[in-house]
Chain A
Amino acid sequence: MSHFLLTTVLAGAALALLGFADEPQGGAPESKDRPHAKFRIISEHAELTPGTTETLGLVFTLEPHWHVYFKGAPGGGNPPEIEKASLPAGYSLGEIQWPAPKRYVAPGGIYDSVYEEEVTLLVPLSVPESAKPGDKAKIGLKMNWLECSDVCVFGNGEDAKVLNVAAAKPARSPDAALIEKSRELLPKPWPAEGATATLRDGVLTIQVAGANRLEFYPGPECADVAKAADATISNSETMTIQFLNANKDQVIADGILGVWRPGTQKPSYFSVKKNSSN
């Protein structure tokens, strides 16, 4: 019996070492209520400069098979939001800037826009002129979000970062590359080169000359897209999107357009916003 127990323990330990213990397969059901995304704050510079705007990164690191939602994901999705910010007097945060998400199509053809593995949301921090070199600024954020795999749970987390106010121009922080990577995924103003977008009779038609792939990620104000899983992707230079609004005169088409061109590895992203009542 003791041999059996020992063997079971050893076999279990071997599985854990191999990393299988985290797989949600078989055996006792995995607890879904524990956090599946970790949150931390990073900054672009190692120190702050009075009277400037510092870029903070809100980093979400997700377990395999889990995702969080883009602001504007068709199902609402409860994307990450700042529940509470603790800042020194005179400091303030701007709006979260959302990098382009990825497509997610669930069984039944249900479309969502999500972030997998790791995402860095950007948020500007205004540093007051009155900040004095040598001051320490503690930035605390409490966040909440929805995290999903085959199931969904509400997640939350908090982090605080202490940054010194510098006398001279501060050096970039070791995390600056993460912020830069995310910045490359922010949408640029419309139009893309050689692009047109029209919204007529509840139909958005986008054409980008020379593109060989287009992806549209609906934004928070966007009307419901019909057949979204199919309509939001095109392997040509044209994309046609129909909306479900009963009143075709009150359609808002809002989102990020990803544009792939032959010979380029990375897509470019653009903000698209059209209002049929204009």
Chain B
Amino acid sequence: MKTSKMSLVALIAAAGIILPAVAMSSPDQKETAPATSTDKKDHKDHKDHKDSPKTEAAAKVGSIAPAFTLSDTDGKTVNLSDFAGKIVVVQWFNPGCPFVKKHYENGANTFNDLNKKYSEKGVVFVAINSGAAGKEGAGKDANVSAKKDWKIEYPILLDDTGKVGKMYGATRTPEMFIINTDGTLAYRGAIDDEPGKNVGKTNYVAKALDEILAGQKVTTAQTKPYGCTVKYGS
């Protein structure tokens, strides 16, 4: 009995050490692991990403915005064409990203305020999360929670393959796109002029929407987006 107890203890001890070690080296973990700063292969040589679709500026200001069909957090299918003839604001979204959080927390309400102000003028807002499964802020549950916690009234569309994000060339969260009533892209870039911890003074999206609604040309049609990288899978 003593021997069998010792064997059991040894077995548990071995399992306690071996199982986590196996888990740490599982292929799944490696595949879903991000490109990390110590992964020299990624940094010294970018060939790992050479064959993957690049997030270059596929959606160009002045050109027709790429069509998309995605499901929202309620499972409802949303097509860009559903909003034909309307101004559409698309926000790339990740509820885990501190640059997104800063616009919903600590008294800030940037996106909800924008939605409230401009939806009354016929503007449609949608958020798109292009994070792959297992990545920060990705998946239905995280986005359902964020929608509830942050009282977001516009749909959050799930793009876990990253296909739509790459079509638009979205690289950051939050990154903003405004599609005009004729389907052309009127603005792409940052939400505002403060790439740090605070909310900016100039909101580029509000400025562009005011100009579009007044029938004017968008004076700042493109800015450098800031924020977290979109958490693509590959």
Residues of chain A touching chain B, judged by Cβ–Cβ distance below 8 Å, are 3-4, 6-8, 10-12, 14-15, 20, 23, 25-27, 62, 64-67, 74-78, 81, 102-110, 112, 114, 116-117, 144, 146, 148-154, 223-224, 226-227, 229-230, 233, 244-246
Contacts and interface: CB of A to CB of B under 8 A. Distances in A.
B93 interface: no
Contact of A116 (B33, B38, B136, B221): B38
A207 B33 CA distance: 37
Contacts of B226: 75-77
Nearest to A232: B46
8 contacts: A15-B16, A20-B21, A67-B37, A107-B49, A117-B38, A149-B37, A150-B136, A151-B96
A256 to B, nearest CB: 16
Chain B contact residues, majority secondary structure: loop
A105 B46 contact: yes
Given A154-B98, A230-B50, A104 B166 contact: no
Contact of A66 (B37, B44, B166, B190): B37
Contacts, number: 174
Contacts of A81: 196
Contacts of B17: 11, 14-15
Nearest to A226: B56
Nearest to A223: B224
B38 A75 contact: no
A7 B224 contact: no
A245 B221 CA distance: 10
A267 B185 CA distance: 42
3 closest Cβ contacts across the A-B interface? Answer: A76-B226, A11-B16, A76-B195
Contacts of A62: 37
B67 to A, nearest CB: 20
Given A25-B23, A104-B37, A233-B46, 12 more contacts: A11-B12, A11-B13, A26-B20, A26-B29, A75-B226, A75-B227, A76-B172, A103-B43, A108-B171, A109-B49, A109-B56, A110-B229
B97 to A, nearest CB: 6
Contacts of B155: none
B20 A3 contact: no
Contacts of B96: 151
Given A3-B8, A27-B20, A67-B37, A245 B228 contact: no
A23 B38 CA distance: 13
A244 B222 contact: yes
Interface string B152-178: 000000000010011000011000000
Contacts of A110: 55, 171-172, 229-230, 232
B57 interface: yes
Interface of B: 5, 8-9, 12-13, 16-17, 20-21, 23-24, 29, 33-38, 42-44, 46, 48-50, 52-57, 61-62, 96-99, 132, 135-136, 162, 165-166, 171-172, 190, 195-197, 221-222, 224-234
A152 B98 contact: yes
Nearest to B22: A26
Contacts of B99: 76, 152
Contacts of A23: 24
Contacts of A114: 37
Q: Which of A11, A15, A223 has the most CB of B within 10 A?
A: A11
Nearest to B10: A7
B98 A146 contact: yes
Given A7-B9, A81-B196, A15 B20 contact: yes
B229 A106 contact: yes
A114 B34 CA distance: 15
A220 to B, nearest CB: 10
Contacts of B8: 3
Contacts of A223: 224
A4 B11 CA distance: 10
A112 B46 CA distance: 12
Contacts of A7: 9, 12-13, 16
A153 B98 contact: yes
